Amino acid sequence: MADDSAIRIDARGSFCPGPMMELIRAIKGASVGQVVVVLSNDSGSKRDIPLWSQKAGHEFLGVEEHGDYDEISVRKSH
Amino acid sequence: MRKRLLIIGAGTGGLMVANFVGRDLHGEIERGEISVTLMGEQEVYTYQPGFLYVVFDLMRPAQLIRPVRELLAPGIAFVHDRALRIDAQAHKVLRAQGDPLEYDILVIATGSNLNLQEVPGLAEGGHWFYTLDGALRLRDALRNWQGGKLVLTVGVPHKCPVAPLEFTMMFDEWARLRGVRDKTEIVYSYPLGRAHSIQSVADWAGPELEARGVRVETFFNLESVDPAKHVASSLEGTDLPYDLLVAIPPHQGDELGSTSHLTEAGNWYPTDRHALSLQGHEDIFVLGDATNLPVSKAGSVAHFEAEVLADNLVGLLTEGSPPLHHYNGRAFCFIETGLDRATFISFDYEHPPTVPGATNAVHWFKQTYNRIHWANLKAVM
Ligand SMILES: Cc1cc2nc3c(=O)[nH]c(=O)nc-3n(C[C@H](O)[C@H](O)[C@H](O)COP(=O)(O)OP(=O)(O)OC[C@H]3O[C@@H](n4cnc5c(N)ncnc54)[C@H](O)[C@@H]3O)c2cc1C
């Protein structure tokens, strides 16, 4: 998922508010079509982010697993 | 040469650090070897956790406010002024009303503030209890409450992460006691897919809210408020009509950080999670709400950080030793679960909390703490 225009956020170790909130803030600031990639070691992110993307109408692109953390990508759709 | 410690922010963290260091180094201060100066834009200290009780007419504002000078240990200088810019190269802090203050070691404890502008319509259409004025306005609205739909929304980030739950559970019981609960609908919304960001708290709170007849609306990130139509709308496209909107507005750090080019987005200081030093600066430390650390923004966190930081500052001021004591992410929060019961959570970087059953004893412990907080600030407890 090498995309030069993507916004990358390292949210590893963030517990409260956590990686999903960081993702939501980034999506708010992104332009339509742009991809936001969040790095997370919180097990809940893999479950919550796809659910949130669906609810908010953004495109969930997938999870890349890297051992002790995940890289989760979402494209801003509107 | 005399070593100068300067602390910006006379709130929970700033006062505690000043008093811990001031008491430890009383002799050095008297002999003029070390100076400790606390700078604050307010001449009074306000106990913010008390706002939650003001809303329900359970505490009066006068019980929450004391002059900063009365809370300071002997020998500590208080400068009543606003810091405008930190010049880290020149070791100076420029201020609103006087000559710059010079320092050898700087501590930043400037807290966090509400960012109402981030949500259009919120200032006009919403209530909040995160400032004293806001708490008084909400108290007045509740005094006239005859029933209707209360919607609670949670902005991110915010201090005291359990306060939204506490408010909701206290309001539920308060409405029952007033005999208006059957005419009152309560909606508790949360930005994530569960009732709280901490998993164990969410697992506990979900069933507790359900048992009280509170509707939980998940994935609700407040984006705008229509004050005329009384509708709160989320980023996710959900509209919640309300009669009374109680919002936890999103927070930001004081603008001192951005004017000094020392902070990240949101004006949070990038802080070492163990030594509490400002990243890239060995002579500047940060504690309390002002850091970017992944810990709760809470008075207890500021307290535990102040203990560690004070030990390190004493070593640094007297022997020039590097930080030997480490902050471990420790936090403690009481959770009021109604008007006469409470529980608590305690956790750190490595250990997530569990939630014990609520008891009357824990509630009274919290009530007592509300009245003896001053001893804690003075570092005599
Ligand atoms: C409703 C509510 C309930 C809460 N309940 C709890 C609870 O139950 N338990 C708990 O642990 N915590 C609770 N908290 C959170 C707690 O009050 C804060 O986390 C704590 O006060 C943070 O301490 P601090 O020193 O970082 O900031 P503060 O105590 O907010 O102090 C910051 C100080 O810095 C000053 N300042 C800022 N910028 C400047 C500047 N440029 N120049 C000079 N001075 C400046 C401010 O005026 C302020 O006095 C609650 C908060 C609220 C609002």
Is A1 contained in some domain?
Answer: no
pLDDT of residue B351: 83
Is A44 contained in some domain?
Answer: yes
Is A60 contained in some domain?
Answer: yes
User: For residue A4, what pLDDT band results from cuts at 50, 70 and 90?
Assistant: low
Domain span including residue A30: 7-75
- The whole-angstrom distance between A3's CA and the closest CA on chain B is 23
> Domain count of chain A?
1
pLDDT of residue B380: 83
CATH code of the region B114-250: 3.50.50.60
CB of B82 shorter than 6 A to ligand 1: yes
* ω into B157 cis (within 30 of 0): yes
Q: For a pLDDT cut of 70, what percent of chain B falls above it?
A: 100
Closest CA to B52 of B366, B290, B376, B302: B366
Say what the pTM is: 0.94
Q: Inform me whether the pLDDT recorded for B282 exceeds 80.
A: yes
CB of B109 shorter than 6 A to ligand 1: yes
pLDDT of residue B198: 84
Phi first, then psi, for residue A3 (nearest 5°) are -140, 115
User: The domain that contains A70 carries what CATH number?
Assistant: 3.30.110.40
Domains B3-111+254-330+373-377 and B114-250 share a fold: yes
Distance (Å, whole) CA B67 – CA A67: 53
- Write the pLDDT tens digit of every residue in B160-207: 999 999 999 999 999 999 999 999 999 999 998 899 988 889 999 999
- Write the pLDDT tens digit of every residue in B226-248: 999 999 999 889 999 999 999 99
B191/A13 touch (CB, cutoff 8 Å), yes or no: no
CA of B41 to the centre of ligand 1 (A): 13
What does the mean pLDDT of chain B come to? Answer: 96
- Take residue A52 and report the two structure tokens written for it: 């949130």
Distance (Å, whole) CA B269 – CA B290: 6
What ipTM does the predicted assembly reach? 0.76
pLDDT of residue A14: 63
Q: Where are the domains of chain B?
A: 3-111+254-330+373-377, 114-250
CA of B111 to the centre of ligand 1 (A): 5
Is A2 contained in some domain?
Answer: no
Fold of B3-111+254-330+373-377: FAD/NAD(P)-binding domain (3.50.50)
B264 inside 8 A of chain A by CB? no
Is A37 contained in some domain?
Answer: yes
pLDDT of residue B234: 95
- Write the pLDDT tens digit of every residue in A56-65: 899 999 999 9
Q: Is A63 assigned a catalytic role?
A: no
pLDDT of residue A77: 94
Choice among A2, A4, A15, A16 that is catalytic:
A16
Is A36 contained in some domain?
Answer: yes
Q: Inform me whether the pLDDT recorded for B328 exceeds 70.
A: yes
